[in-house]
Amino acid sequence: MATNLPTELLRSFVAIVDSGSMLKATERVFVTQSALSLQMKRLEETVLTPLFHRDGRRLTLTASGTALLGHAREILALNDRAVVALTGDALVGPVRVGLVQDFAETLLSGVLARFTQLNPEVQLQVRVAGSPELLDLLNGDRLDVVLCMGAPEDAAAVRVAPMVWHGDPELAKRSVLPLAILEPPCRFRDAALAALDRDGRPYRVALETPSLSALRAAVEAGLAVTCRTALFRPLSTPIEAGLPVVPQVAYVRRVGPAPHPSIAKLSDLMHAAALEL
């Protein structure tokens, strides 16, 4: 009787090899490390041979594991082509999206909601974090598409927007400006502090936080001013006078190499949404 190799076990096997460890592989196949370990035990029992040498947490392929790897990639590629042939561009499996907080509220209820409706079998995973962290995750093949902030000259810029001071205009008249900023690294934080230092404007940090919601609450409560784009949309009006000029910032979209057609479509939808923000 022929032995069947379950594709979900092969996909996890390839993920472990490509990511270098079971811990990192969990972020690709979305199962716990213990579940992943059980999957590999099942796969080894299916093929009746060890696939990994285990030295503590370090895993290296056995000769059998190396032989299986090439076949596993071929089987998975054929499986994915068959799915696309039968369903068009409908995506089955995980899609990993990274967003900065500025875009999360709008895109989660807009383009990402529509995407999941059109791709009901998709497993959408959204990571909300700062731009440097998102780009590191994308470069490490732990995200598929990212929409973040960057320099205006970035080749992947979707659009360029001005930075704006937000808060109660009366605060701008104080001799010492109360300031609300995000924790580093933050492009807006750096721009605000550089502009104030350049103009010799005294200030004090009234709030430093990792949360954009907390930053917005402080500004809306009249406790401090901050520097963001128009996406910040606090209840208070932008401050148009009395504070130094701050630079522009780019909305940057990046996508991983050789994306699935549906991921490429999602990337295009995010691009279009960013143009309208």
Cis peptide leading into 257, omega within 30 of 0? no
Q: What is the CATH number of domain 7-87?
A: 1.10.10.10
Segment 169-187, tens digit of pLDDT:
999 999 999 999 999 999 9
**pLDDT in the model for residue 182:** 95
CATH 3.40.190.10 in the chain is located at 93-160+250-276, 164-246
Q: Regarding the domain with residue range 93-160+250-276, which homologous superfamily does it belong to in the CATH classification?
A: Periplasmic binding protein-like II (3.40.190.10)
Residue 30 has pLDDT above 70, yes or no: no
**Ramachandran sector of residue 255 (left: φ over 0; alpha: ψ -120 to 50; beta: rest):** beta
Residue 31 has pLDDT above 80, yes or no: no
> Length of the chain in residues, anyone?
277
State how far the Cα of 256 lies from the Cα of 65, in Å rounded to an integer. 27
pTM: 0.66
Token pair belonging to 217 = 């609450």
Query: Which CATH class for the 164-246 domain?
Result: alpha beta
Is residue 234 very low, low, confident or very high in pLDDT (cuts 50, 70, 90)? Answer: low
Mean pLDDT over the full length of the chain: 87
Segment 66-80, tens digit of pLDDT:
999 999 989 988 887
Q: Which of 123, 94, 135, 102 is nearest to 254 (CA)?
A: 135
Segment 91-149, tens digit of pLDDT:
666 788 999 988 887 788 788 887 777 777 777 889 999 999 999 999 988 899 999 99
